[in-house]
A and B are shown apart, each in its own frame.
Chain A
């Protein structure tokens, strides 16, 4: 097992990793930018190294000072957290070149899943249904036209190396395809420096269902059930829950076992999430995330498995000590992402926290790096806290979640807590009858 792990991240996810390391008796090294010197992940780590100025390019996205920090502190492994360098194959191989362990899959696997078309091809070959569309990057408008005709409108044009919602456009008919094609190509060229675009079938109002899996170096794979992450705004998840309120037991077993079988075939060796769209009773592979997810918490709650602990153990070469039959999902778990933003205008709200009181009681877990007096800097993500609720059934979980949100005191900045309460009181949410565009439609009716 590792003796000392450097955590190449900040905020609640860095704190999450620090906590499991301490549970395992492993020493931790925090890295931080100048503005984060008083933050919680730094305070709770055994050692801390400043790696640069607040701008992410000068600190958390810069591998050189991070590796230097790992070398001087004699860390034997690096945990990348989520975001920043966590899905950068070059960072993973740099860590390995410096004779340290990258806690995650191999650099080759990260690279493979980072290319969206390669990932689709691999998953299709190994048994998953993928979203119908082009199997290679589009050569010209004629090719786009013929594929669109084959799969049927509406279609969606996407960047091969996308992110941040850039280079994505929904097209209703062939007349709109021609102008959109050149526009998206231009946008992709400007944003990513290549012209790789592809086309996919566009589904009206699907659900986002994802499957949590873990695999070890011996080739054993176990799935830990699904998560329904369909409450989204601007492609950012806001509320996640497990189990999904609309899947039947038969559907759940079918997709979870199929995904586990596929992952076993490709010999994936770490924590991973297979993201899928669900529409008309069918599941379509979208992409695979090769890191710990922000919403891993709800799966931990219903399965009792510490996913970060498993991730670290697998990276250290240990086997998964339990079998699929040992995983007994029970009860219901929901997570609300508390963001620093105006709940009506969504204007970001960084600043200093004046008063802080976190909710408690049975079935409540709060993952947050906030404390009274801390700074929420404007340079980083607006996620400041995760409220994770567990109860025997979904109705009780919703009631408990509302109770917690009312208890939660975060003064000094604005948060989206009022928005969460509105969603949780809505009939569509209560019935489970929501999809990935539901929140945006709900908000446009409100205005």
Chain B
């Protein structure tokens, strides 16, 4: 079903005021368009792997440790896993990509947090 939104006039008015102030400040600084922060996405570059044998991210995206918010995580530290088990999900460009265990073993360390952005080649999980 489509999500329901309640129109909250107060919030919109407050926001309108805030954006107006911001626009004025920007005008003062002689900027037409606003840039809150410079976000740089560089070309896929390999992040130095400090964890020998760590599974690295095959893509740039957002990590999810559980199938849905608030649900149990796919794996936890100390758990024994089999080759092919799903360890986490990386969301990139609206696709959800399950990252599977390349080998059987034990989860030694999880190096990323839920909803965190990851780079290409960034270490994710150490399996031994």
Residues of A within 8 A of B (CB): 34-35, 37-38, 42, 48-50, 54, 63-65, 67-69, 71-72, 88-91, 94, 97-98, 111, 114, 161, 190, 192-194, 340-341, 347-352, 354, 375, 377-382, 412
Contact = CB atoms under 8 A, between A and B. Distances in A.
The 7 nearest A-B residue pairs measured at CB: A348-B92, A382-B93, A348-B93, A68-B15, A37-B35, A161-B1, A378-B92
Contact of A194 (B1, B94, B95): B1
Given A37-B36, A111-B2, A161-B2, 4 more contacts: A94-B5, A349-B59, A375-B41, A378-B60
B12 A88 contact: no
Interface in B1-23: 1-5, 7-8, 11-12, 15-16, 19-20, 23
B62 interface: yes
Contacts, number: 111
B111 to A, nearest CB: 19
Nearest to A53: B36
Contacts of B1: 161, 192-194
A59 to B, nearest CB: 12
Contacts of B3: 88, 90
A88 B58 contact: no
B102 interface: no
A419 B95 CA distance: 19
A350 B97 CA distance: 14
A351 B40 CA distance: 9
A72 B34 contact: no
Interface string B65-97: 000100000000000000000000000111101
A192 B43 CA distance: 36
Interface of B: 1-5, 7-8, 11-12, 15-16, 19-20, 23, 32-37, 39, 41-44, 58-62, 68, 92-95, 97, 117
13 contacts: A35-B39, A37-B34, A48-B33, A65-B19, A68-B16, A88-B2, A111-B2, A348-B59, A348-B92, A351-B42, A375-B39, A378-B41, A380-B93
Contacts of A380: 93-94
Contacts of A37: 33-36
Contact of B92 (A54, A350, A352): A350
Q: Is chain A's binding surface mostly helix, strand, loop or mixed?
A: mixed
A276 B34 CA distance: 44
A352 B1 CA distance: 36
Contact of B94 (A38, A67, A349, A382): A382
Contacts of A190: 68
Contact of B19 (A42, A68, A111, A114): A68
Nearest to A42: B33
A350 B33 contact: no
Contact of A90 (B4, B32, B42, B68): B4
B108 to A, nearest CB: 26
Contact of A67 (B4, B12, B20, B117): B12
Contacts of A382: 93-95
A354 B60 CA distance: 17
A67 B16 CA distance: 9
Contacts of A38: 35
A112 to B, nearest CB: 12
Q: Which of A48, A65, A161, A354 has the most chain B CB atoms inside 10 A of its CB?
A: A65
A348 B61 contact: yes
